[in-house]
Structure 1
C-alpha cells in the first residue's frame, strides 16, 4: 500500500505541476480578469492537488526508505548505492521546495491577482513573484524527473 501511495503521489504531483508549465506562461498574455482567474484557479490546484500529492509522495518515500534499511537481505547492503542516495535526496528536496516555497508563492500570486482585480490593474509585485515561482517549480520538477530516472534505471 505504501508503494502504491508513493507512486500515485508523485504521479499526481508531477502531472499537476505540468499544468503550471502550460498555464503560467499563457497567463502572462491574458487580459487582467482572465489572468487573475487563472492564478486563483492555479492556487487551488496547488493547495488541493499538488501540495497534498507532494506531501504523500515525500512521507511515503521516507517510510519506504526506512523499511528498505531494515531489511535483512543483500539489498540492505545497497543503502549506499548512488542511485538510491540521488533518488532519495532529490525527491526530498523537491518535496521541501514544493511545500515550503512553491505553495506560498502560488498563494501569494492568487492574493495579488485578487488585489489587481480590485484596483483594475495588475499589481507590480505579481511578475517578480511569478518569476520566483517559475524558477522554484522548474527546479523542483527537474528534481522529480531525475529522481524518477534514478529510481527506474538504477544506473
Structure 2
C-alpha cells in the first residue's frame, strides 16, 4: 500500500500544476484481490483468532452460531461491530465479536466493495464434526431467511467461518 501511495504522489508531482488543477476526477486505487480471495483471507484471520489460546477461548465449552455484523473503518480495521443474530451462549457471542475485532485489516478492498459495505461473519463454534454439521444446517436456514427477507439485508457481504476441533 505504501508503494502505491508513493507512486501516486510521485506521478502527481511530475504533472504540470495546470494539469493537476484541470483534473476534476478523484484518483481511485483499487485492489487486484478478488472477492473470493478477500473472503478467504478474512475467514483465515478470524479462524486464527478463534483457535488461538486465550482465557476467553479456554472458557468456551458451549457451541453455537453467531452472526456478527461490522463495517470497515477508515483505518481498514473492523468498526461498528454488533451482533446480528447471536448464539444462545453468551460466551460464544463474546468470542465471535472478539475475533471480529481482532481482524488485522480489511484493506485493500476488492473492486466491487465500497467503504461503507456491511459485512456479516457467520461463525460456527462446534465441539465435534457432528455438531458442526448440525450447526451448519442451522446457519443455512438463517441465511435463507435473511436472503428471502427482501430487505437491504441482501446487500450484506457474508462469509462463513467454522471453528471445530480437529479429529
Could you tell me the TM-score, scaled by structure 2's length?
0.26
Bigger strand share: 2
Could you tell me the TM-score, scaled by structure 1's length?
0.28
| Structure of greater Rg | 2
Higher relative contact order (CA 8 A, sep 6+): 1
